[in-house]
């Protein structure tokens, strides 16, 4: 139960406080029930009829807890546009992740942009990974151990000049073209680095699995907790071309001219979450820190 309590503490908006109080009360009730059941078992008081009755009680409490949480979430969701949400990965695990329902097409260029917030150390982990049959590291963004953040394409690596794990929201973009393997990195709307010879003349392969929050060692799995993303992620968008500096700036400043990804667009219907990762409401530029 500790992770839930820790997670509750990490979110502090008023809607979350409501939810937190309800959750906390329910958790306290459940703890009491479980403890009394353990005590009775230890004292050898239980007969099979009592035990199944007690289990029934606990299960129905859990069911009503889940029901209340989903009602609360539904209330939040009904009022929000399909792109105004963030994913939260509160703990370093090998089981919390989100999966993008679509795969990527073959791409000779791309831009990938997102909002992220983390203060995890050492390293915030893997915001996203794309694996294809025969190559688990087809396209990966990762910051692990004391290394800088890196982008991997077909297992080739470029170090990115990002400084983001200060617990504040940052907008980041990476663009790349297969011709000469030229890449550019943008943080908060400004280009902070560039380079070439990153997997030159290797098109990004189609038919893979795109995961947010974990690094894949096998297609769609093989997660390792030490490489898991810890923090919050939003507006993950992918284009099959290189965005211009002006387009990136529009995204980072939430300009009305900002585009959605033409390959992957950020929308709740496009993303499934697993293992306790959660969705919360997110307003990009209004919510900055």
pLDDT at residue 74 greater than cutoff 80: no
The average pLDDT across 39-43 equals: 66
pTM across the whole model: 0.75
What average pLDDT does the segment 33-48 reach? 65
What's the mean pLDDT in 207-222? Answer: 97
Q: Rounded to 5 degrees, what angle do the CA atoms 216, 210, 263 make?
A: 155
pLDDT reported for residue 171: 97
pLDDT at 44: 63
Average pLDDT over the chain reads 86
pLDDT for res 12:
45
């Amino acid at each position: 139960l500790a992770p839930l309590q820790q997670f509750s503490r990490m979110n502090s908006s008023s809607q979350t406080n409501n939810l937190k109080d309800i959750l906390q009360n329910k958790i306290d009730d459940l703890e009491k029930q479980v403890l009394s059941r353990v005590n009775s078992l230890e004292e050898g008081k239980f007969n099979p009829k009592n035990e199944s009755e007690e289990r029934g009680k606990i299960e129905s409490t859990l069911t009503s807890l889940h029901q209340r949480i989903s009602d609360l979430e539904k209330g939040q969701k009904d009022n929000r546009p399909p792109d105004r949400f963030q994913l939260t990965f509160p703990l370093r695990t090998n089981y919390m992740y989100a999966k993008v329902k679509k795969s990527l097409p073959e791409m000779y260029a791309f831009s990938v942009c997102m909002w992220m917030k983390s203060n995890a150390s050492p390293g915030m982990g893997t915001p996203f990974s794309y694996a294809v049959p025969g190559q688990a590291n087809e396209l990966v963004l990762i910051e692990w151990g004391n290394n800088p953040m890196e982008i991997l394409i077909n297992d080739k690596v470029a170090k990115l000049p990002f400084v983001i794990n200060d617990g504040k929201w940052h907008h980041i973009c990476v663009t790349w073209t297969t011709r000469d393997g030229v890449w550019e990195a943008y943080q908060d709307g400004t280009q902070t680095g560039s380079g070439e010879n990153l997997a030159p003349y290797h098109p990004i392969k189609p038919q893979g699995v795109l995961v947010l929050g974990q690094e894949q060692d096998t297609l769609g799995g093989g997660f390792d907790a030490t490489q898991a993303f810890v923090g919050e992620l939003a507006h993950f968008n992918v284009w099959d071309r290189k965005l211009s500096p002006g387009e990136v700036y529009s995204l980072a400043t939430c300009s009305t001219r900002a585009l959605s990804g033409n390959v992957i667009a950020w929308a709740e219907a496009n993303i499934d979450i697993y293992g306790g990762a959660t969705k919360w409401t997110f307003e990009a530029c209004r919510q900055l820190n």
